[in-house]
């Protein structure tokens, strides 16, 4: 009887550890699936050949080629300018609307609330053609904003800036609202109890406590703006390129390691932004699991 029990016991233990091994093995495979394509992409940006599938030796020539390409550099500046401007506007508007919706009740709040979520739900192709028609019909927007940005002369259509603000407001508002919702309201009451008027309560308590949320929202907006291809592509009119739009055009013409080099550059920028947002969250004393706007 004891023997039977013991062998049953061993079988159960073996099955449990087998399950654990299968799960771990699957986990490793899943992460390989996520990372391998990106790693291969980066590796072939250093390939000493026009091929992106056969390794011919190491070179950084494609990076030289990238930085020599005036079009790429210009589109890089366009991307940054667009991201900076649209992030600033979207962050201000998004923070205000988040405060209004989270802290006050008024008629029409539900309608405003639903309107705020629509740009997040609607796929970018739908939003892109909506805005394309709108700018065409209204006749506003396609003329460029001519501006000096860090000494570089840029011409960025207002339509693209407006489009980026339009999809970023909602993301900023959602992030800021989440922060507001988990904020302890008695802190504001305590400030009022200690003779602070509404403005000073906001300035000294609400805003500092909200700052990690606002910065998180701004970083999200900045990333989304840098990454956007579809909406920019449709709303910019002819002749204006951001880096993703430029890359799309290059891909359509053919695959070269130069695209891999540009991709690697964009990858580095995205990674830096992710780590920056993690650092900001840590500073904000936020120990919550990483959410990135979800």
Partner 1 sequence: MANAFAVELRNVVKRFGDVTAVNNVSLQIRQGEFFSLLGPSGCGKTTTLRMIAGFEMPTSGEIYIDGEPLGYMPPNKRPVNTVFQHYALFPHMTVEQNVGFGLEMQGVDKAEIRRRVGEALEMVKLSGMEKRRPKQLSGGQQQRVALARALVNRPKVLLLDEPLGALDLKLRKAMQMELKALQEEVGITFIYVTHDQEEALTMSDRIAVMDEGVVHQVDEPENIYERPADRFVADFIGETNFIPARVVQLGPPVVVEIAGRVRVPAAWAEQGLSEGDQALLSIRPEKINLYEERELGEAGPTTARVEGRIQQMVYVGTDTRHTVRLADGSVLVARLQNIHTEEEPWTVGERTIVEWDAAHARVLRV
Partner 2 sequence: MEQVLRRNPALRGWLLVLPAAVFLIIFFMIPLLIVFVYSFLERGTYGGVIWQFTLENLARTFDPLYFSTFLRSVYIAILTTLISLLLGYPLAYFITTRPAHQRNLYVLALMIPFWTNFLIRTYAWLTLLRTHTGLINVSLTSLGIIEKPLPLFGNDFAIVLGLVYGWLPVMVLPIYAALERLDKSLIEAAQDLYASGAQVFRRVIWPLSLPGVVAGSMLVFIPSLGAFVTPAILGGGKSLMIGNIISNQFLAAHDWPFGSALSMLMMIVMLLATLIYFRWALREGVQP
- Report the interface residues with partner 1, using CB under 8 A: 184, 186-187, 189-197, 200-201, 204-205, 208-209, 285
Cβ nearer to partner 1, comparing 142 with 204: 204
Sign for the CA dihedral angle at 264, 159, 274, 30 comes to negative
Residue 231 interacting partner from partner 2, partner 1, none (CB closer than 5 to 8 Å by kind): none
For 79, 163, 221, the CA distances from 83, given in Å and listed in that order, are 6, 11, 8
Q: Is 30 in the site for partner 2 (CB under 8 A)?
A: yes
Residue 192 interacting partner from partner 2, partner 1, none (CB closer than 5 to 8 Å by kind): partner 1
Cβ nearer to partner 2, comparing 96 with 196: 96
Each residue 175-194 as x (binds partner 2 by CB under 8 A) or -, in order, gives: --------------------
Is residue 223 within a helix (H) or strand (E), and if so which, with residue range? helix 207-227
Contact 82, 160 (CB under 8 A): yes
- Cα(158)–Cα(163) distance, integer angstroms: 9
Residue 213 interacting partner from partner 1, partner 2, none (CB closer than 5 to 8 Å by kind): none
Intra-chain end-to-end CA distance of the chain, in Å: 55
Nearest to 87 by CA among 246, 283, 286, 277: 277
- Tokens representing 15 are 């099955």
Residue 244 interacting partner from partner 1, partner 2, none (CB closer than 5 to 8 Å by kind): partner 2
DSSP-assigned letter for residue 146: E
DSSP-assigned letter for residue 288: S
Question: 90 to 109, contacts with partner 2 by CB under 8 A?
Answer: 92-94, 96-97, 99-101, 103-107, 109
| Residue written as token pair 């109890």 | 193
Each residue 230-249 as x (binds partner 2 by CB under 8 A) or -, in order, gives: x---x---------x--xx-
Cβ nearer to partner 1, comparing 169 with 176: 176
Residue 263 interacting partner from partner 2, partner 1, none (CB closer than 5 to 8 Å by kind): partner 2
Give the nearest distance from C-beta 210 to partner 2 in angstroms. 13
How many Å separate Cα 191 from the centre of its chain?
35
Contact 50, 132 (CB under 8 A): no
Cβ nearer to partner 2, comparing 77 with 164: 164
| Torsion angle, alpha carbons of 183, 187, 192, 198, to 10 | -20
Cβ nearer to partner 2, comparing 81 with 135: 135
Q: Which residues contact 261 (CB under 8 A, 6 or more apart)?
A: 45, 62, 63, 65, 66
Residue 145 exposure: Cα atoms within 13 Å on the Cβ side: 17
Residue 182 interacting partner from partner 2, partner 1, none (CB closer than 5 to 8 Å by kind): none
Give the nearest distance from C-beta 144 to partner 2 in angstroms. 18
Q: Is 133 in the site for partner 2 (CB under 8 A)?
A: yes
Cβ nearer to partner 2, comparing 154 with 260: 260
Q: Is 210 in the site for partner 2 (CB under 8 A)?
A: no
Q: Is 49 in the site for partner 2 (CB under 8 A)?
A: no
């Amino acid at each position: 009887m004891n023997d039977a029990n013991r062998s049953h016991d061993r079988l159960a233990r073996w099955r449990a550890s087998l399950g654990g091994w299968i799960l771990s093995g699957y986990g490793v495979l899943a992460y390989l699936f996520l990372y391998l394509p990106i790693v291969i992409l980066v590796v072939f940006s250093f390939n000493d050949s026009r091929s992106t599938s056969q390794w011919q030796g190491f070179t950084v020539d494609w990076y030289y080629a990238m930085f020599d390409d005036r079009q790429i550099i210009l589109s890089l500046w366009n991307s940054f300018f667009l991201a900076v401007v649209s992030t600033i506007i979207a962050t201000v508007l998004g923070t205000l609307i988040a405060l209004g919706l989270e802290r006050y009740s008024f008629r029409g709040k539900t309608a405003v609330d639903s309107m705020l979520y629509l740009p997040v739900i609607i796929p970018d192709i739908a939003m892109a053609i909506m805005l394309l028609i709108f700018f065409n019909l209204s006749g506003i927007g396609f003329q460029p904003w001519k501006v000096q940005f860090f000494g570089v002369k840029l011409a960025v259509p207002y339509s693209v800036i407006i489009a980026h603000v339009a999809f970023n407001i909602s993301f900023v508002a959602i992030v800021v609202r989440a922060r507001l919702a988990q904020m302890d309201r008695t802190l504001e009451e305590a400030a009022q109890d200690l003779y602070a008027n509404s403005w000073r309560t906001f300035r000294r308590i609400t805003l500092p406590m909200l700052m990690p949320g606002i910065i998180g929202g701004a970083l999200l907006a900045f990333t989304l703006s840098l990454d956007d291809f579809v909406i920019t592509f449709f709303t910019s009119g002819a002749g204006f390129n951001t880096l993703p739009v430029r890359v799309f055009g290059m891909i359509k013409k053919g695959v070269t390691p130069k695209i891999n080099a540009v991709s690697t550059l964009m990858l580095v920028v995205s990674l830096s932004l992710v780590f920056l947002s993690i650092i900001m969250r840590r500073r904000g004393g936020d120990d919550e699991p990483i959410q990135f706007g979800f």
